Amino acid sequence: MWQWFHRLGSPPAFYRLSETLLPWLWAVFALALGYGLYGGLVLAPTDYQQGDSFRIIYVHVPAAWMSLFVYVLMAVCGAIALVWRMKMAEVVLIAAAPIGAAYTLIALVTGSLWGKPMWGTWWVWDARLTSELILLFLYLGIIGLHGAIEDRAVAGRAVAVLALVGVVNVPIIHYSVEWWSTLHQGATVTKFDKPSIHIDMLIPLLAMALAFKLYFFSVLLVRVRAELLTRESGSRWVKSMLGSA
Amino acid sequence: MTEFLAMGGYAAYVWGAYGFTTLVLVWTAVAASSRHRAELRRLNRSLRA
């Protein structure tokens, strides 16, 4: 495990391994997405309270889960970058940020499109929605801060600190529906007792969640590969790889 | 099929949500891979020069 981790920390090893991995990731992504969409839009029964509007769940909830997952991953990368000065952690952190921002934006917009017919409003300034909006600003702040600092080492440390500080928002988002009264419904899947969602509705949701996660790792690998080429353009492994291609 | 597309009267909301999600995710993936390809092109040029 540790040896594997160290190998991933080496740019040429990462670049080669990701090239082999990517087609497989996209293939499993396509399968999970195909099944999730068919299951969610066709097979799952209509909700007895929300009608067919509940089908927004299959894009809204996976996007919202990923908006938190990506942020936690970035905070972990920030900690690794600050403590062990691992270059790859910095690269992964900044490569993940736009994908996390995209998921957060999707969660907010699809939530708004779900809120209008169910709550009668596009937006309320309640705890869940507001803390998710703050998450979007954190992502944009990290991207902006990284772009604004010329010195790469300083920029890497600055975004690592911001990612770590901002992680306090993650439990606030998750528990917001319990801590404050809100229009947003409580958790139906991530509870310790049995999920309060029918199995025919749940399985497509898990398939979509898997698809969204695989999409994230695929795009992340592509972005890390591009970033590595930029940073290591003068190094021997890049030159020999391009020379032999 | 018409019934499926109507989404029980919620068509605009449901397809709006799926459409927006598709748009953002396709754009994110295309932007990532075109950046990678541009970087490869740039390096190839500078290597030959």
ipTM: 0.93
The answer to whether the Cβ–Cβ distance between B9 and A243 falls below 8 Å is: no
Q: Mean pLDDT check: name the lowest of A71-85, A173-187, A201-215, A216-230.
A: A173-187
- Has residue B5 been placed in a domain? no
Q: Which residue of B has its CA nearest to A111?
A: B17
pLDDT tens string A46-89: 888 888 889 999 999 999 999 999 999 999 999 999 999 888 99
- Has residue B4 been placed in a domain? no
- Has residue B26 been placed in a domain? yes
Query: How much is the average pLDDT of A163-171?
Result: 93
CA dihedral A112, A47, A68, A203 (to 10 degrees): -150
- Has residue B42 been placed in a domain? yes
Q: How far is A93 from chain B, CA to nearest CA, in Å?
A: 15
What's the N-to-C CA distance of chain B in angstroms?
A: 58
Nearest-angstrom CA–CA distance, A9 and A222:
16
- Rg of chain B in Å (alpha carbons): 20
Q: Which residue of B has its CA nearest to A232?
A: B43
Beta bridge partners of A51: A47
Which residues have a Cβ under 8 Å from the Cβ of A54 and sit 6 or more positions away? A46, A47, A201
Instruction: Using CB atoms, pick whichever of B29, B39, B44 lies closest to residue A219.
Output: B29
pLDDT at A49: 85
Assigned token pair, A127: 């705890």
Percent of chain B residues past pLDDT 70, beyond the cut? 98
- Has residue B7 been placed in a domain? no
Backbone angles phi, psi at A181, to 5 degrees: -75, 140
pTM, full prediction: 0.92
Give the structural domain span for B42.
20-49
Instruction: Using CB atoms, pick whichever of B14, B35, B46 lies closest to residue A226.
Output: B35
Nearest-angstrom CA–CA distance, A202 and A194:
12
User: What residue segments make up the domains of chain A, in order of their start?
Assistant: 23-42+52-229
Number of domains present in the structure of chain B = 1
Nearest-angstrom CA–CA distance, B26 and B30:
6
Cβ proximity of A57 and A39 under 8 Å: no
Cβ proximity of A228 and B37 under 8 Å: no
Q: Quick check: B46 contacting A, CB < 8 Å?
A: yes
- Has residue B31 been placed in a domain? yes
Reported residue count of chain B is: 49
